[in-house]
Amino acid sequence: MKKLDDSKIFVNEDAIMKYELCKIDDLYDRFKKQAALVRSNRVFVLVNGADFSHNNAADLIDDIATYSNNAIEEVALQIFNVIRLAFLKSRFGLGTYLSTRIRHGVFEGELRSDLERLNLILSQSGQQYMPSDYWRVEYSLDSEMRKNLYNAQAKFSDNIDTLISSFKDSVIQIRVDEYDEKKGEFDYTIDTKELCDRLMEIESKTHDRESFCKGVIAYLWEITEARLEITRARISKELKPGIFNHLQTLEQCFDSLSGHDTLSADLKTAINNARAALTNKLTKVENWFYRQETKFEDFDIESHIRMTMEQAARYYQDIPVRMDMNTVSLPTQIRSEYSSSMFDLFFIFLTNMLRYSKNTNPRIFQISSQMMDEDIIKISLINDLQDKIQEDSLNHIFEEKMNDVAKLQQEGGSGLVKAMTIVKYDFGNTNNTFTIRATEGKCVVEILFNIKDMLVNEENIIS
């Protein structure tokens, strides 16, 4: 099975066409009519609420006609705003995938993971950075040395976290129009005249609503490609130098620590190893910002889960994991077009299992699947809850998050609503669903979806 490539920029165009742009025929017809009038140099008016066109506007009585300053621009803006919003902000749009794949803890997880592995950066508890036990225990440091080392690491941790947060807020954000308060590099504000000309051109080369919408989406991809190029440049020219400058400052702080030669040498080794690791990581992050065009191969669920866990575990390298798998065999593989969505679905659940499961060594995840009938498959994901968890309160939180559709474009607490969107809409059946509940000391996720039309040859499953 072919693994996912590094690119993370994705829009589910098929779902947008099916669910978001299926009812704009009237708006499309209005634009098409206005485009025809413009090309024929005819004038558009509204008479008693009805549309009229006339070769000589002077023939119409002024007091019964309402004139538009520029009717073609008005309707062009209307239809473009609808398509742009679907492309960027719908549950299938760029913003949802940016949030799930990059902003939702993945960005900082990728850049922090090697620094954590090398014991250079500290973890936060609330607003405070917690001291690392590694250097203290390994080198039997006295209180003064521990204090100086902690101060250097805490300052470094704050600098790195602030840099990452600032980059996310100022770069990896979508700006829809001139009224949008967000100022990210994914900026889709467009001059009205330029927009109108481009939509006229698209309309002249298409023949119906569907082909027109696809043409506008292609135009939005052109804008996206240009913004991606800028984003990659900012990673290379701003983010990367910023991280290495903070590493250099940390190294200078370490150099000032005296009285422990072995510690100083090992700290310097850790810094050099961090530089090498981060050079590779930043190249990988830069490669995220390409349009995902990988042609995936057909796959089976168990292999996909294992691949997803391999990816998720990179962000939690200090957590040992054991997966107890018991999955049903399907008569054929699942079609390749579902590979990306299936990865996103399991990535949401597995990263949360890694983050919030009971602290055992190793952490044991029970993963199984079974056929409920000839079409419906149930996948169960079970892990032990952390000690002292109030199950009723946790179930209430689950319920609130499942219903908070507004979180689709946000970073925090948005995984469950995104997972439901994938199960219902990316998998193409609104009867699909999942449940998540805390019970008897465990968190139990049960995903049920109709797999019939997802199979390679679309044959029914025989139990």
Per-residue pLDDT of 294-335, as tens digits, reads: 567 889 999 999 988 888 887 776 788 899 999 988 888 998
**From CA 267, how far away is CA 118, in angstroms rounded?**
9
58 pLDDT higher than 80? no
Under 8 Å CB-to-CB from 417, ≥6 apart: which residues? 401, 402, 403, 404, 405, 407, 408
3-state secondary structure 102-156: HHCCHHHHHHHHHHHHCCCCCCEECCEECCCHHHHHHHCCCHHHHHHHHHHHHHH
**pLDDT at residue number 5:** 53
How is domain 301-454 classified at the CATH fold level?
Heat Shock Protein 90 (3.30.565)
Per-domain boundaries in the chain = 1-294, 301-454
Spacing of C-alpha 314 from chain mean position:
17
Question: Who has greater pLDDT, 12 or 250?
Answer: 250
Kindly report, residue by residue over 89-125, the tens digit of the pLDDT.
988 889 888 877 786 678 888 899 899 999 999 998 8
Q: How far is CA 14 from CA 28, 101, 255, 345, in A?
A: 19, 19, 56, 18
Strand partners, 450: 376
Contact, 357 vs 384, CB < 8 A?
A: yes
DSSP state of 338: G
Convert 382-439 into a string of H (helix), E (strand) and C (coil). EEEECCCCCHHHHHHHHHHHHCCHHHHHCCCCCHHHHHHHHHHHHCCCCCCEEEEEEE
Alpha carbon 166 to chain centroid distance? 18
Provide the token pair at 441: 């000391």
> Which of 171-180, 243-252, 292-301, 379-388 shows the highest mean pLDDT?
243-252
